[in-house]
Structure 1
Amino acid sequence: MSAVYARLRVTDPARWRAVALAWRRWAALAGALRAEFGPAVARLREIWSGGAADAAVTRLDGFRRRLALFRLFCWRADQALSEFAAAVGRARALLDQARSMADQAGLIIDDRGEVHRPAGSTADARAVAADLAAAIAIAEQADETAAARLHGLSDQATPPDDPVRPDCTATPAEITRWWAALTPAERNWVLATEPGSVASTDGIPAADRDLANRLLLEQHRADLDRDRSHELAELSARLDDGTGPRAYLLGLDTAADGRAVVALGDPDRAGHVLTHVPGMTSDLASLGGELTRAERVAVRTAELDPAESPSAVLWLDYDAPDFLHEAFSDRQARDGATELRRFQDGLRATHDGPRSEQTVLGHSYGSLVVGEAAAGPLDADRVVFVGSPGVGADSAAELTVPADRVWSSTSLTDPIQYLAVRPWAGELWFGENPSEPGFGARVFRSQADAGHLGYWDEGRPALDALAALTLGEEPVTRR
């Protein structure tokens, strides 16, 4: 214990984040070099033919594949070190908390990390000792996990012995079993040569989906015309950011308004996972704001309980309404509900370690998506409705999630409760307001001036409530 305590006391998580970011930059440099070879190979084929030309093209293609493998290697190192830095940061927060409590209580923590009570003191040292023990346990586990991941890195790639892939009817659990049966070299081959086959596939681990989607990102940029190229700018900046929780790109589609699934922190290794489903007008162009909201919950969750590892997932994998006349229909919500159920099944199938707490939050029209999903078999420990126009049900009892795990909040100044009313029915457009007593949900407090987007304002009651719910704790309820 003493050695771990001594190292933890002087460890700076920012240094490990910087190392992770360096690996991410190596991947970017290799990507720029690889991109130059694509046009070069095409030009070569145009002006040269014959056996020698075929041999040269084969060698160049092989070099491009090795560059792709190098990028996978870099990103895996980045993932391992980023998660290590995050865990060390949480351990340091607990350590600092313990030292602060000790100072206030007049207790002494020696160089071995043991707590002593001065003669004559009646201070209780149990809370300080508990925080110290938790900090050291987190640091030890993080060190062990990071070492195993780094030692297991492989830059080898071989085609799978069995070329058969799961078909479109396979469940996420079946896909997880198929992927786990491949060797690391076979998984590398699939990721490097056909990333599109796994990039958005529920049942593929988040870390591997992130690699596939990052490999495809340049092609997505090329697919967007000049007028829409800015839509990926904020996403790309967040993927390159080394300050907050590491971003995992779990899905990206630039067709129409665009869709994206981004996790902040690895959901497969987190003990608490929040899936954030945004509402009307959500698309690639508005992705930055939605990512900020999801990230604030992840950060606040870690602040409230550093002993726990959170992940927040922005799930924008449905066609959100663009206009009011679209939002008056539940068609897009029903279509999205099917995909949301499958995504949650995938999170459960790929999770590594003890069972995680899964919370699904729907905001605005997104609450209707979540409500429609929860009307069927949704793998969620709780659902949360925020600023809802109705959830497709008139009672929490109509949902498959137990009523005491259905939560809702609507700010007094949120216009949704006035704009989404059916005048002839006396209720919201999509059923009873889930924040009203008659619905049967548990209502938590949000600040009166939140409006429609202020539930994620920092330092306010609603954000604390969302973080508490993500931890599986009970927030302050509305009086």
Structure 2
Amino acid sequence: MTAEAVYLRLRATDPRHWHALAAAWRQWATLAGHLAAELPPLLARFAAAWSGTAARAAADRLGRLRRGLAVFRVLCWQADQAISEFASALDRARALLSRASAAAARGGLAIADDGSVRGGPSAAVSPDLSASLAVAARADEAATARLRAAPDRSPTLERPACTAGPAEVRRWWAGLGVGEQRRLLATEPGWLAPLDGIPAADRDVANRLLLDDRRAEVSPAGLATLTARLASDDGPRAYLLRLDTTGEGRVVVALGDPDQADNVLTHVPGMTSDLASFDGELTRASGVATRATDVGPAASTSAVLWLDYDAPDFVDEAASARQADAAAPALNRFQEGLRSTHQGATAHRTVVGHSYGSLVVGKAAAAHDGLAADDVVFVGSPGVGVDSAAQLHVAPGHVWSSTSRSDVIQYAAVSPHGLADELTRAGFGVVTPERHLWFGENPSDPSFGARVFASQPGGGHLGYWDQGSQSLNALAAITSGRIP
């Protein structure tokens, strides 16, 4: 497609129509799910009231119908994914085109129908205009390729061992034909859904297929909110990468496909986080991605909420590193999975740990094999398990930290020895933010060696994501790799 054709189509298109089309495919998948859910009770009634050859034939027919509905749902979600990512890219391309048009108007210039700038020097217009056309063209090519993917009859490969790493799982999955992949998604979603190394789009399909079966396993509050977010066409498409309804529940949700994004942010929440309250944490992660996209629409950013660990509920639990120690290997494996499944040019990967989540991230980054991330960020931290940024397997200059002066964590999580020293020095004066925290040196203290960024003095423990705040701007800049 020529630049002129791309420009004319981009100028005329309305991304809202594409978002609506994607939502329609999601609705078809939901309808097919309702139909499939009615079949097991029907089969049970058949078995109780009817026997013989005809009964078995009827039951077999209904079983094939249910499997067919599962395949239909897989195809619906795959169409939804391709169109949703196309629509989001058009949003960014249109934003760049609007900036180019505004710059042209300010300079008394005009953008012709062939996409060229006329009337004078185009230096202020061309970068955004060229970027908008490039984003639209790439989106068109990617959507076309995904929607044209045809099934084949390639043989089934031997399945990876349970000890296989994400890279090995990825190689196995990529070696399967499209038809075999769809068959496995429709028939064995429970096995595929938690596998790091399976692409995000396919894990999303597998987990969505399992979602209906899990509604009865957990209180409806968390699943109702999750279901609503998965169905929503407000903002980037949600990808369900992990769902565990045991205990208080665990969930991993990405906004935008992390396998196609230029930047990927993984947000690790802290104490009291669970399935029932995941939406607030997802909103915080989304705010960073939204701000990054507002500032630089040419690059796509996916925000991932990683809540695949048992976060502490009470202070006595939060005083132990046990849950962070247990979570760190899973976070490392997840990040390695994101690296192995990413398509195209390497993404800029950032991992943010908040509160107790910063200890999880610190433990993961301190492991001998390190954390697959370009930047690691700690906010509102009680300590990260080490006393120096040099003890983390992260490139120098890419460990970041911020703690608001009003964040209670720096007082509530003071180490007993450090608090005694501080009180001795202060006497009857004011106790200042503590350097020695419960889980090691304060990462926001200069002695730790992290790059400290500003946050709102009165933001408390949750103000780091407030709209317009210095900390949100810094998180967005770090996520998009705009700070060298």
- For this structure pair, what is the TM-score category when the shorter chain's length is used for normalisation? over 0.9
Counterpart of 1:8 (choices 3, 7, 10) is: 10
**Residue 421 (str. 1) matches residue 423 (str. 2):** no
Which letter does structure 2 place at the counterpart of 1:199?
A
Instruction: Tell me how far apart the structure 2 counterparts of residues 166 and 328 of structure 1 sit (CA, whole Å).
Output: 38
Corresponding position of 1:128: 125
Corresponding position of 1:370: 361
Corresponding position of 1:167: 161
Any residues of structure 2 matched to 1:68-79 within 5 Å, and which?
A: 68-79=70-81
Instruction: Tell me how far apart the structure 2 counterparts of residues 189 and 150 of structure 1 sit (CA, whole Å).
Output: 17
Which letter does structure 2 place at the counterpart of 1:423?
P
Corresponding position of 1:185: 179
Corresponding position of 1:446: 455
Contact 1:403 1:440 in 2 (8 A): no
Contact 1:76 1:153 in 2 (8 A): no
Corresponding position of 1:27: 29
Shift of 1:153: 5.3
Instruction: Tell me how far apart the structure 2 counterparts of residues 311 and 394 of structure 1 sit (CA, whole Å).
Output: 31
Q: Deviations over 1:239-275 (max 9, x none)?
A: 0110111000000001001100000000000111011
Contact 2:377 2:401 in 1 (8 A): yes
Q: Deviations over 1:182-213 (max 9, x none)?
A: 11111111111110001011000000000000
Any residues of structure 2 matched to 1:24-423 within 5 Å, and which?
A: 24-118=26-120, 124-152=121-149, 154=151, 161-162=156-157, 164-224=158-218, 228-376=219-367, 377-423=370-416
Contact 1:359 1:384 in 2 (8 A): yes
Which letter does structure 2 place at the counterpart of 1:230?
A
Shift of 1:96: 0.3
Instruction: Tell me how far apart the structure 1 counterparts of residues 464 and 17 of structure 2 sit (CA, whole Å).
Output: 33
Shift of 1:298: 1.6
Corresponding position of 1:434: 443
Shift of 1:297: 1.3
Which letter does structure 2 place at the counterpart of 1:412?
R
Structure 2 unaligned regions, length at least 5? 420-435
**Structure 1 residues 298, 90: closer, same or farther in 2, change over 3 A?**
same
Q: What secondary structure, in the 3-state scheme, does the structure 2 residue paired with 1:425 have?
A: helix
Q: Deviations over 1:424-456 (max 9, x none)?
A: 234110011101100000011111121111111
Q: What is the RMSD of the two structures over their aligned residues, measured on CA atoms? A: 1.4
Q: Deviations over 1:103-148 (max 9, x none)?
A: 1222222222211234xxxxx5223111111100111111111111
Instruction: Tell me how far apart the structure 1 counterparts of residues 371 and 283 of structure 2 sit (CA, whole Å).
Output: 25
Structure 1 unaligned regions, length at least 5? 119-123
Counterpart of 1:463 (choices 455, 472, 483) is: 472
Which letter does structure 1 place at the counterpart of 2:233?
G
Q: What secondary structure, in the 3-state scheme, does the structure 1 residue paired with 2:83 have?
A: helix
Instruction: Tell me how far apart the structure 2 counterparts of residues 403 and 296 of structure 1 sit (CA, whole Å).
Output: 27
Shift of 1:465: 1.0
Contact 2:154 2:176 in 1 (8 A): no
Which letter does structure 1 place at the counterpart of 2:410?
Q
Corresponding position of 1:121: none
Contact 1:365 1:389 in 2 (8 A): yes
Instruction: Tell me how far apart the structure 2 counterparts of residues 48 and 165 of structure 1 sit (CA, whole Å).
Output: 39
Contact 2:150 2:179 in 1 (8 A): no
Which letter does structure 2 place at the counterpart of 1:429?
W
Contact 1:73 1:153 in 2 (8 A): no
Shift of 1:38: 1.3
Instruction: Tell me how far apart the structure 1 counterparts of residues 173 and 108 of structure 2 sit (CA, whole Å).
Output: 54
Worse overlay, 209-218 or 422-431:
422-431
Q: What secondary structure, in the 3-state scheme, does the structure 2 residue paired with 1:270 have?
A: coil
Shift of 1:167: 1.9
Which letter does structure 2 place at the counterpart of 1:112?
D
Q: What secondary structure, in the 3-state scheme, does the structure 1 residue paired with 2:124 have?
A: helix
Q: Deviations over 1:305-356 (max 9, x none)?
A: 0000110100000110010000000010011001000001100111111111
Worse overlay, 2-11 or 101-110:
101-110
Q: What secondary structure, in the 3-state scheme, does the structure 2 residue paired with 1:131 have?
A: helix
Shift of 1:159: 10
Shift of 1:423: 3.0
Which letter does structure 2 place at the counterpart of 1:137?
A
Shift of 1:160: 5.7
Instruction: Tell me how far apart the structure 1 counterparts of residues 174 and 399 of structure 2 sit (CA, whole Å).
Output: 34
**Structure 1 residues 75, 209: closer, same or farther in 2, change over 3 A?**
same
Which letter does structure 1 place at the counterpart of 2:122?
A
TM (norm. structure 1) is 0.95
